Amino acid sequence: MILLSVLTVVLESVDSWRSQYGRLFLILEWAFTGIFALEYLARLWVVRRRWRYVSSFFGVVDLLSVLPAFIGLFIPGTHYLMTLRVLRLMRMFRILKMVEYLGDASVLLNALKSSRRKIMVFLWSVLALVFVDGTIMYVLERDANPDFANIPQAIYWAIVTITTVGYGDVSPVTVLGKIMASVIMLTGFAIIAVPTGIVTSEIGREMAGSRQRSRTCKECGWSDHGSQARYCQQCGTLVE
């Protein structure tokens, strides 16, 4: 239902589809809105701590999935049409409702939390590097290339280059500038591998820990077993 509602929003943004199937899109949208609204009310009815749910991440997402459609009913005047279109785009928040169905998402989240300090150090290092690279390119190119008229513009070029995006709208013209640009490009390839390796390592460690924690003794419920343990250290029962 979530994917279908998001697909409806996407298709409705195409002018030719909207002009031909506008009525169908409208019916589908209100059908989805009604279903999600009933789901939200049902959650409020059965949950023990209502305010805790309402203020939680999933509670906010559930509310945002239905609120824009109802807000549009209470904003009169044609000059608010642009506002309504923006509010309608907020229906894309429904895609976030899929997160609660991803059981293994905790592995990824825990891996990102564990590697956040390493990633922050890496980002600060890259930031310092692009400042240095941008300043050097400004010195080398400022007299021959108007695209490097100031240091901020040169830093922007360095960021685009070192991340291997390479828009191609700005390029050096001097020999020294091209040599420096080549060094920055090669550095960019090496830099890309760093955060990938950090996160991959943490994901592997988290998955190994998750597998270890999942080996729970059926007899006593103890789950903190070693990776090579065959028997429960609490009751001696065979651990599968």
Average pLDDT of each block of 10 consecutive residues along the chain (240 residues)? 80 84 88 88 89 84 78 57 50 65 63 77 86 90 87 89 82 91 86 72 64 60 63 70
Per-residue pLDDT at 80: 40
Say if residues 219 and 232 touch (Cβ distance below 8 Å).
yes
DSSP-assigned letter for residue 232 = -
- Say which amino acid occupies 97: K
This prediction's pTM? 0.51
Q: Contact 90/64 with Cβ under 8 angstroms?
A: yes
CA–CA distance, 203 with 108 (Å, rounded to integer)? 6
**Do the Cβ atoms of 59 and 50 come closer than 8 Å?**
no
The reported pLDDT for the residue numbered 149 is 84
Query: Positive or negative CA dihedral for 95, 97, 99, 101?
Result: negative
Cα–Cα dist 2/12, whole Å: 15
Q: What are phi and psi of 238, to 5 degrees?
A: -60, 130
- pLDDT score recorded for residue 41: 92
- Do 203 and 108 contact (CB within 8 A), yes or no? yes
SS (H, E, C) 195-224: HHHHHHHHHHHHHHHHHHHCCCCCCCCCCC
Q: In the prediction, which pLDDT does 180 show?
A: 92
What is residue 125's predicted lDDT score, i.e. its pLDDT?
Answer: 85
- Domains delineated in the chain: 2-101 (1.20.120.350), 110-213 (1.10.287.70)
| Short-list 177, 139, 145, CA closest to 161 | 177
